[in-house]
Chain A
Amino acid sequence: MIAVSDLDVAYASAGRAMQVVHGVSLTVAPGEVVGLVGESGSGKTTIGRAIQRLLEPRGGSVSLDGTDITHLSRRELRPLRRRMQMIFQDPYASLNPRLTVAAIIGEACAIHGIGTRPDRAARVARMLEQVGLPEEAMHRFPHEFSGGQRQRISIARALIVEPAYLIADEPVSALDVSVQAQVINLLNQMQRERGLGMLFISHDLAVVQHVCHRVVVLYLGRVMEIAAVHALYAAPRHPYTQALLNAAPQPNPDRRRTVPALRGEMPRPDAPPSGCVFRTRCPHALPVCAMMVPTLTQVAPGHLKACLRDDIPYP
């Protein structure tokens, strides 16, 4: 299990530290797909990078199958990295343009001492087949492939070390719609076949619904709601989740909006509102919302929300 507890992450910006993640806790069980959803500035990408230890959190902890990895050094982390891999959003920037596909995917094996040199080529070929690419792709360079194919290469690179967990940071956001479906299906298949625990980071609620078992909703670096997929989409309890679901454009011209559109903009992370940070845009805000920071409370088993009000309906 990946267990994140009370995570705080801050970036140094122009001499000052700006905290972008506040007290976030979540878990990813083996074989479970957890969606991490939010708009820009929600901190979702930062959390993914913190879990992958591409940065060091300022507070809280991250543990991988019981081992606390929050402050481990690079050397100590190396053997553990085999269990947790990452795929990135930009299919063009995430592959070294000067290496062949074989070198890119094979590097993972080289780093972790998997297999011997001669049989590495065979492993790479097998992996390519599993992600739906021809074997001869091995000798070509990234720029010869389309965005969707490059994401497949990234997936191959991540999965060849046979990790137990995968952190996918917006893996399909930069792809065309028809290609998105191909890559989503591939991820679903890989996850099913290998029993991967996956953290699926995305801003696209429709995609998340087709990939995840559970969803964590973030706003301004804080958790607003956590629920199983069917509960979140059928009966969201937090006003922000309701607004997100409502705002997402749907391919249905006759659709009528059930919740008024959200006014205003996300506050700057260095000047968060007092109390509940969502209150400045919340259609149900009360004076007490400015005075108390809501904690995550349970509304049903497995369904948590960070809102002081219990009486908000979802039409």
Chain B
Amino acid sequence: MSDADALLRVDGLRTVFATPEGDATAVADVSFVLCRGETLALVGESGSGKSVTALSVMRLFESPPGRIDSGTMRFRERDGQVVDLVQASEPQMRALRGAEIGMIFQEPMTSLNPLITVGEQVAEGMRRHAGLGRREAAARAIALLARVGIAAPELRARDYPHHLSGGMRQRTMIAIALACAPSLLIADEPTTALDVTIQGQILELLRDLQRELGMAMLFITHDLGVVAEIADRVAVMYAGRVVEMAPVRNIFATPRHPYTQALLRSLPRITTGIAGPVDLVPIPGQVPSPLALPSGCAFAPRCSHAQADCREAMPPLLDAPDGTNVACLHWRELAP
């Protein structure tokens, strides 16, 4: 994609948290590009650094103890200017958050203010960033609530968050995030806390809104099923690094990194033809602690194909066919 389409270019991001036991590297050397209208999924298990990456883009983590040690995050604003989010000042970030970059979180109950009505929370962003007057913002808020699929929005607008169901609260969060039509939406596990039948509705809503507004979406999740439904491209993360990045079809059809392969193999899938308990294929061992990352490839201790050179140096993201990038020295020998 050309430079003009690139909305967000993250290069060598490194986010570290200072703890009494030393520095914990949550994100180590993460790079990716996100274009307008595209959805990039950051997939990984706990400790992979996917959530911290999202928080880093918005500069929303507590600093101290967190800090961005190195890297750049170049974001193209609406007026065409490119700003490095790592270096941007706090007032600059505040101007961007809500207006050009929106974020939705996993747990809507704790992300919504319990003391302010739902309509008011949606309208607030519009008043602050788009400079709308009270009445106009309130009217637009109701329209927005309707657009996100909340029935009887005029009545719901006067409700408080605890009156709404989980699905409706999540829709409210989406409305708040999209109130000013941001060009980038960051969604951190937005459907994980929802029932599976509501999950589908929310994913469908996000897809529709994305098409309508032409916005880019950075979607964080641990659920590969959700990734298959929503993503255009996927970045698989492990122990703070991107280990594989590819278009969504390739990740599932031809996974090239041993971790991606092992992850897909360990997933229970709904099939026909199972008549009783069947064992799965687990990945032995566990994720390393961010305080004690192994030298060399972080996955090597658990990798059945690990060789001597894997433990010496961290493999960089290498190019593979079909627009895939793999961080594995021996990817060629591994049949997907």
Q: Which residues does A use to contact B, with CB under 8 Å?
A: 33, 39-40, 146, 148-149, 176-182, 184-185, 188-189, 191-192, 203-207, 209-213, 228-230, 233-234, 243-245, 247-255, 261-263, 265-266
**25 A-B pairs (CB sep. < 8 Å):** A39-B197, A176-B45, A178-B263, A178-B282, A179-B282, A179-B286, A180-B280, A181-B280, A182-B282, A182-B284, A185-B279, A185-B280, A189-B279, A205-B196, A213-B277, A230-B273, A233-B272, A244-B197, A245-B270, A247-B200, A248-B196, A251-B264, A252-B228, A265-B168, A266-B195
Q: How many residues of B contact A (CB 8 A)?
A: 50
Judge whether B20 is part of the interface by a CB distance below 8 angstroms.
no
Chain A, residue nearest B228 (CB): A253
Name 15 extra pairs, CB < 8 A, besides A206-B267, A251-B227, A261-B197: A40-B195, A148-B286, A177-B263, A178-B266, A181-B267, A182-B282, A184-B268, A188-B278, A209-B270, A251-B269, A252-B252, A253-B248, A253-B249, A255-B228, A266-B195
Residues of chain A within 8 A (CB-CB) of B283 are 178, 181-182
Contact A250 B197 (CB under 8 A): no
Residues of chain B within 8 A (CB-CB) of A206 are 267-270
Judge whether B201 is part of the interface by a CB distance below 8 angstroms.
yes
- A259 to chain B minimum Cβ distance, whole angstroms, is 11
Pick the residue among B46, B166, B204, B282 that contacts A181 (CB under 8 A): B282
Pick the residue among A39, A212, A230, A253 that contacts B272 (CB under 8 A): A230
Q: A185-B280, A207-B268, A213-B277 are in contact. Are A250 and B196 (CB under 8 A)?
A: no
Chain B, residue nearest A207 (CB): B268
Contact A177 B196 (CB under 8 A): no
- B107 to chain A minimum Cβ distance, whole angstroms, is 14
In the bound complex, how far is the Cα of B277 from the Cα of A189, in angstroms? 10
In the bound complex, how far is the Cα of B289 from the Cα of A55, in angstroms? 39
- A275 to chain B minimum Cβ distance, whole angstroms, is 20
Chain A, residue nearest B234 (CB): A253
User: Closest 9 interchain pairs by CB?
Assistant: A249-B225, A181-B282, A181-B280, A39-B195, A176-B45, A178-B283, A206-B268, A182-B282, A181-B266
Judge whether B208 is part of the interface by a CB distance below 8 angstroms.
no
- A137 to chain B minimum Cβ distance, whole angstroms, is 14
Pick the residue among A146, A212, A229, A251 that contacts B267 (CB under 8 A): A251
Contact A177 B45 (CB under 8 A): yes
Q: Give B26-50 as 1s and 0s: 1 = Cβ < 8 Å from A's Cβ atoms.
A: 0000000000000000000110000
Judge whether B165 is part of the interface by a CB distance below 8 angstroms.
yes
In the bound complex, how far is the Cα of B223 from the Cα of A148, in angstroms? 18
Contact A176 B225 (CB under 8 A): no
Instruction: Specify which of A230, A253, A254, A255 lies most central, judged by the most chain B CB atoms within 10 Å of its CB.
Output: A253
Contact A203 B280 (CB under 8 A): no
Chain A, residue nearest B204 (CB): A261
- B246 to chain A minimum Cβ distance, whole angstroms, is 12
Contact A176 B46 (CB under 8 A): yes
Instruction: Specify which of B196, B200, B248, B281 lies most central, judged by the most chain A CB atoms within 10 Å of its CB.
Output: B196
Residues of chain B within 8 A (CB-CB) of A254 are 249
Residues of chain B within 8 A (CB-CB) of A255 are 228
In the bound complex, how far is the Cα of B273 from the Cα of A243, in angstroms? 19
Pick the residue among A188, A203, A229, A249 that contacts B274 (CB under 8 A): A229
Contact B199 A249 (CB under 8 A): yes
- A199 to chain B minimum Cβ distance, whole angstroms, is 14
Q: Give B202-235 as 1s and 0s: 1 = Cβ < 8 Å from A's Cβ atoms.
A: 0110000000000000000011111111000000
